[in-house]
Amino acid sequence: MLGNKPGWKLKGRVWVERNGVKVLGPGRVELLGHIERHRSISAAAKQMNMSYRRAWSLVRDMNEAADEPLVELTTGGSGGGGATLTARGKEAIALYQLITKQFAETASELEEHPAKT
């Protein structure tokens, strides 16, 4: 269908679910990346022009859906609170990036050499 036809392109988005509940998607992985860089949900939310409440809700949802924390939170105090990715959170980002890279490569191959039907 695509072959050499101008204007046609294969695109898609990848989500990772556990028991039918979304754990990772493009926005969630971006949020995790900002949390890893800034060690703060608040700073990560600002980077994405997202409210702190929305970012915190996404972190809670990811942790619950994954059945183990992807983000570890520390409560405030004199030094303030913070957030760090767990080993599983870092693994999740790496796996998601691998899946999306392979998806993009496959889509590109299909555009160049469509399957014969």
| pLDDT score for 88 | 96
Band of pLDDT at residue 111, cut at 50, 70 and 90: confident
Backbone region of residue 31 per phi and psi (left: phi > 0; alpha: psi in -120 to 50; beta: other values): alpha
For the chain, the domains span 16-112
| For range 27-55, the mean pLDDT | 97
CA dihedral 63, 84, 92, 108 (to 10 degrees): 120
| For range 1-6, the mean pLDDT | 63
Which of 20, 37, 75 is closest to 29 using CA atoms? 37
Burial of 113 (0-12, 13-18, 19+ CB in 10 A): exposed
pLDDT digits (tens, 9 = 90+) for 63-85: 999 999 999 998 876 667 799 99
pLDDT digits (tens, 9 = 90+) for 100-109: 999 999 888 8
Band of pLDDT at residue 114, cut at 50, 70 and 90: low
Class of domain 16-112: mainly alpha
Q: Kindly tell me if the per-residue pLDDT of 117 is higher than 80.
A: no
Q: Kindly tell me if the per-residue pLDDT of 50 is higher than 90.
A: yes
